[in-house]
Structure 1
């Protein structure tokens, strides 16, 4: 199993687990690998450090070779581990929140602007919706007094295609 550090054009960093390098490349070419934060499929690998079991007991002194102390690699500073853990917990919280938004809204797809107007003017039942619209259409909705919130939801949030919450 290969654990790779991946990132998207927006700078989101996340891990991916693959059976092999060929498996990663194959999935990436078919755009099956997506950023869990924004849904981007233009994913690239970052330099990855090998997985080290830093919790293991150190070997006994008599087993160590006669290497000078300076040759023993230093353990990365604790702040780096804390920062990475914090980032991962923020990404997990974002995914949990994104899934909750997807579960509690109706995806109206590309008809978002039209449906938002119908709801606003009482022509359709009031409900929470999400979908896609152009920036120009979003501005027109705002000018009409219709509240919209641009939000990039990863496709993995809804399990059915995601999209932007407006």
Structure 2
């Protein structure tokens, strides 16, 4: 396992673990890495210092008085807090239908499925067809949470 410091196109910084450098490259190329704060998929490796573990018998080096980093939640701007609240509201009050979003949205619009709030994933061409057919949809400013392993 390897830990990378990452930075999104909105300059949010966060860390993530990967099986290997090649695994990171594969996931990044597939667009499966997203910012933990805003959901942007344009993510690059940030400059990071290597972690070197001291020898087992070595005494720990004295650390100068450095302030501890604050958690990401404490650094969130009002806009980031609003996006997090929006995400929480959507996830709590609607059903996640995954990659079946286009089919399910069309079924609800046509009256073939019960009327309810849904969210999920759709390809750009699927979303365009839904809009052209008058199905009321809107893009969300974040990606759904899903396991990648």
TM range (shorter): 0.5 to 0.7
Quick one: distance in 1 between partners of 2:42 and 2:137? 26
Per the alignment, residue 150 of structure 1 pairs with 139
- Offset at 1:127? 0.3
Contact 1:107 1:129 in 2 (8 A): yes
Larger radius of gyration: 1
Contact 1:7 1:46 in 2 (8 A): no
1:106 pairs with 2:126: no
- Give the 4+ runs in structure 1 shifted more than 6 A: none
Count of aligned pairs: 114
More helix by share: 1
The RMSD of aligned alpha carbons is 3.5
Quick one: distance in 2 between partners of 1:28 and 1:12? 24
* Runs (5+) with no aligned partner, structure 1: 17-23, 54-84
Per the alignment, residue 19 of structure 1 pairs with none
* Runs (5+) with no aligned partner, structure 2: 25-32, 49-64, 68-73
TM-score of the pair, normalised by structure 2: 0.57
TM-score of the pair, normalised by structure 1: 0.52
Quick one: distance in 1 between partners of 2:19 and 2:88? 23
